[in-house]
Amino acid sequence: MTTVREAGDGDRRAIATLHEASIQAFGPEAYTGEQVEAWASGKDPEGYPIGEEGSYLVVAEREDGVAGFGHLVVPDREVTAVYVDPDHARRGVGTAILEELASEADDRELDELSLVASRNAVGFYERRGWERVENLTHETTGGIELECVAMERSLD
């Protein structure tokens, strides 16, 4: 069973570790080794906006700990992260995270959400009602570019 809750300071290390592991596991489905390394590098546990105003960062838990995390930037109406631990992939964790973020957005009376999806995640979002808006390029902290897809979803 998966439960989703707001992240706390004690989750920082687990989030950073999971973030890198998820990129390393799923990134090669759509990107080169160099791109994956640039995307995965530099995940500082202190860099996650836990408890910051306008930020809603959640973790999904399963029996053995943190299985995923997601982030909603409320003022921007943007989901900036949904990552699942490779050991928990395809078990509803990502869906549970998205549902929690959408519920929070609805509670805050937002009418739509946007996100930028990595190419390997586009199908996941489309199956959950997100629509492609445009292709774009995201630059990693290491200056390597990743082709991505801007997506939107109405909450009506």
Q: Is the pLDDT reported for residue 48 higher than 90?
A: yes
Q: Is the pLDDT reported for residue 141 higher than 90?
A: no
Residue 47: per-residue pLDDT: 94
| Tokens coding 67 | 């299985």
Q: Domain segments of the chain: what residues?
A: 3-110
Q: Is the pLDDT reported for residue 140 higher than 90?
A: no
How crowded is the C-beta side of 76, counted as CA atoms within 13 Å?
Answer: 12
Cα dist from 20 to 17, 42, 49, 68, 85, whole Å: 5, 9, 17, 11, 9
What confidence tier does 156 reach under pLDDT thresholds 50, 70, 90?
confident
Fold (CATH) for 3-110 = Aminopeptidase (3.40.630)
Q: What is the pTM of this model?
A: 0.94
Average pLDDT of the chain is 95
The secondary element (H helix, E strand) that includes residue 26 is helix 12-26
Averaged pLDDT, 3-28: 97
Residue 26: per-residue pLDDT: 97
| Chain segment 57-111, per-residue pLDDT in tens | 999 999 989 999 999 999 999 999 999 999 999 999 999 999 999 999 999 999 9
